[in-house]
């Protein structure tokens, strides 16, 4: 039963992406990517390649480990429940989120100064997938997809706070190294794609008898014939005794 329902390709795609992240982290660790190489550098042409490479790069072990689990879970949910558009959502979400991060100027929210930053990590992908899965279920208003929405909200609902600068919630001795721009971009792109793709995929089947004004003379005739031919199936039903008007003719005349 579980084998028939589980999409093993969903597990495969999720595992491939996470494995690629760890490979990128290993190559980064041995010196293939140093400094800002492979990172998104906002408004800098040199940083455009980071749109594709930065999700594979991470600052430390805690950083990549913290992204690996949600990336695996969310990609699995995407391909399990949205196989008809999963590849488009993953690719477009990846590229559009990275490009939007590149477009956003890294300005200090307190002094307005322009900061030169190098943005790495897969948190943008986490946000785009989480927000897509949540809002897609709402926009489609389908029980199955709404269940996925509730699941995402239950485990990843706290992500909403990440779309704002960390400095707004706590006093930090130095500027936060968390890229709220990536989180905000991923959330915006995820919601936008959930709305655009809300009608994609299989349509909900509504049978003719589900319509409120449905009536079929043929069906009604078959039902009446069945009742006449199989009276034993209806013996225990509380039927009203059939009234013979001719037997009550004198009574009816008196009441006129």
User: Which pLDDT value is given to residue 2?
Assistant: 41
Is 242 a domain residue?
A: no
Q: How far is CA 190 from the centre of its chain?
A: 8
DSSP secondary structure string for all residues of the chain: -HHHH--HHHHHHHHHHHHHHHHHHHHHHTTSS-TTTTSB-TT-GGGTTHHHHGGG--SSHHHHHHHHHHHHHHHHHHHHH-TTTHHHHHHHHHHHHHHHHHHS--B-TTT-PBP---B-SSHHHHHHHHHHHHHHHHHHT-HHHHHHHHHHHHHHGGGGGGGS-GGGTS--SS---S-HHHHHHHHHHHHHHHHHTTT-SPPPP--GGGSTT---HHHHHHHHHHHHH-GGGGTTS-PPPPP-GGGGHHHHHHT-
As beta bridge partners, residue 40 has 119
Is the pLDDT reported for residue 173 higher than 70?
no
Higher-scoring residue by pLDDT: 243, 193: 193
Closest listed residue to residue 150, CA positions, set 136, 134, 170? 134
Q: What is the mean pLDDT of residues 199-211?
A: 62
Is this prediction's pTM over 0.75?
Answer: no
Closest listed residue to residue 120, CA positions, set 21, 45, 20? 21
User: What tens digit of pLDDT does each residue of 40-71 get?
Assistant: 888 888 889 999 999 999 888 888 998 999 99
User: What tens digit of pLDDT does each residue of 225-237 get?
Assistant: 887 787 777 666 5
User: What tens digit of pLDDT does each residue of 1-19 get?
Assistant: 345 577 888 999 999 999 9
In the block, which residue shows the tokens 């200090």? 108
Is 209 a domain residue?
A: no
Residue range(s) defining the domain that contains residue 59: 2-196
First to last CA, the chain: 69
Query: Do residues 202 and 142 touch, judged by C-beta distance below 8 A?
Result: no
User: Which pLDDT value is given to residue 188?
Assistant: 93
Q: How many domains does the chain have?
A: 1
Tell me how far CA of residue 119 lies from CA of 22, 151, 156, 166, 195, in angstroms. 17, 29, 22, 16, 28
The CA-based angle 59-163-173, given to 5 degrees, is 60
**Token digits for 223?**
């039902």
Is 245 a domain residue?
A: no
Could you give the percent of the chain with pLDDT greater than 90?
Answer: 29
Is the pLDDT reported for residue 89 higher than 90?
yes
User: Which pLDDT value is given to residue 1?
Assistant: 39
In angstroms, rounded to a whole number, what is the distance separating the alpha carbons of residues 198 and 66?
30
Supply the CATH number for residue 113's domain. Answer: 1.20.1540.10
**Token digits for 128?**
């785009």
Is 205 a domain residue?
A: no
User: Which pLDDT value is given to residue 31?
Assistant: 82
Is the pLDDT reported for residue 29 higher than 90?
no
Is 165 a domain residue?
A: yes
User: What tens digit of pLDDT does each residue of 237-249 get?
Assistant: 555 666 666 666 6
With a CB cutoff of 8 Å and minimum separation 6, the contacts of 96 are 189
Is 169 a domain residue?
A: yes
Is 167 a domain residue?
A: yes
The mean predicted confidence, pLDDT, of the chain is 81
Is 45 a domain residue?
A: yes
- Segment among 35-44, 45-54, 209-218 with least mean pLDDT: 209-218
With a CB cutoff of 8 Å and minimum separation 6, the contacts of 123 are 67, 162, 179, 182, 183, 186
User: What tens digit of pLDDT does each residue of 136-166 get?
Assistant: 888 888 778 888 888 888 777 777 877 777 6
């Amino acid at each position: 039963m579980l084998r028939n329902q589980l999409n093993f390709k969903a597990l495969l795609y999720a595992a491939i992406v996470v494995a690629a992240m760890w490979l990128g982290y290993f190559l980064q660790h041995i010196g293939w990517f140093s400094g800002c190489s492979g990172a998104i550098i906002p408004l800098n042409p040199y940083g455009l390649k980071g749109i594709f490479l930065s999700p594979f790069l991470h600052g430390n072990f805690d950083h990549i480990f913290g992204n690996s689990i949600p990336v695996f879970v969310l990609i699995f949910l995407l391909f399990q429940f949205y196989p008809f558009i999963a590849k488009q959502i993953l690719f477009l979400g990846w590229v559009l989120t990275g490009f939007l991060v590149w477009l956003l100027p890294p300005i200090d929210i307190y002094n307005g100064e322009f900061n030169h930053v190098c943005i790495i990590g897969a948190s943008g992908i986490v946000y785009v997938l989480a927000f897509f899965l949540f809002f897609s279920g709402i926009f489609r208003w389908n029980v199955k997809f709404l269940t996925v929405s509730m699941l995402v909200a239950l485990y990843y609902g706290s992500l909403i706070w990440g779309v704002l600068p960390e400095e707004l919630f706590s006093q930090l001795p130095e500027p936060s190294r968390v890229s709220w721009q990536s989180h905000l971009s991923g959330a915006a792109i995820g919601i936008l794609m959930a709305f655009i793709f809300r009608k994609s995929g299989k349509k909900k089947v509504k049978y003719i008898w589900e319509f409120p004004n449905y009536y079929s003379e043929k069906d009604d005739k078959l039902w009446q014939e069945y009742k006449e031919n199989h009276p034993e199936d209806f013996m225990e039903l509380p039927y009203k005794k059939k009234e013979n008007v001719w037997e009550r003719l004198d009574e009816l005349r008196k009441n006129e």
